[in-house]
């Protein structure tokens, strides 16, 4: 494992130019640190890209990009349990979502994206299922925050 100061960015700004990018964040609020990082990268590295942010909940108004909220549980305790057991709950929930949305599962929202970039735990389940369903055709890639994709220094 590389140290924090030894990290180097894996991607440059030109790698994302004119690409379709899906950013997966569990919560998208102004006070959330991960959301602030995502906003900074949308203004910087993804400036010339078609960006969609997918989250369970949030309050940020998009400027120059799109947001889709999946919806979330209101009770904090149930929300924590929901996110903890998300991999177990996900297949059943995805099945119900397909029934209510004419056969469209959660991964289908970002099916045509060139990059799917996941931040934090529950959204990794979406990203991994997207990879299983759509593979890496059209040079599609799945990136995680842990791979030091977003180290600006």
* Contact status, residue 135 vs residue 49, Cβ threshold 8 Å: no
- Maximal C-alpha separation, the chain: 48
Q: What is the pLDDT of residues 110-148, one digit of tens each?
A: 777 878 888 888 888 877 777 777 765 444 455 554 444
**Confidence (pLDDT) at 49:** 86
**Confidence (pLDDT) at 11:** 55
Residues 6+ apart with CB under 8 A from 13: 44, 45, 47
What is the secondary structure of 25-37 as a DSSP string? -SEE-TT-HHHHH
Where residue 153 falls among pLDDT bands split at 50, 70, 90? very low
* Contact status, residue 52 vs residue 21, Cβ threshold 8 Å: yes
25, with CB counted inside 10 A (0-12, 13-18, 19+), is: buried
**Confidence (pLDDT) at 14:** 64
Cα–Cα dist 102/118, whole Å? 26
The radius of gyration of the chain from alpha carbons, rounded to an integer in Å, stands at: 16
Q: Between residues 59 and 109, which one has the greater pLDDT?
A: 59
The pTM assigned to this predicted structure is 0.75
């Amino acid at each position: 494992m590389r140290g924090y100061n030894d990290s180097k960015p894996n991607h440059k700004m030109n790698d994302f130019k004119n690409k379709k990018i899906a950013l997966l964040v569990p919560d998208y609020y102004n006070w959330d640190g991960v959301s602030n990082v995502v906003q900074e990268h949308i203004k910087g590295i993804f400036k010339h890209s078609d960006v969609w942010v997918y989250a369970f909940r949030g309050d940020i108004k998009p400027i120059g990009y799109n947001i889709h909220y999946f919806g979330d549980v209101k009770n904090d305790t149930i929300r924590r349990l929901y996110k903890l057991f998300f991999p177990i709950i996900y297949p059943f929930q995805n099945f119900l979502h397909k029934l209510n949305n004419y056969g469209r599962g959660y991964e289908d929202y970002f099916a045509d994206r060139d990059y799917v970039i996941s931040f934090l735990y529950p959204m990794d389940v979406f990203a991994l299922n997207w990879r299983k369903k759509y593979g890496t055709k059209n040079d599609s890639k799945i990136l995680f925050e842990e791979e030091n994709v977003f180290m600006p220094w």
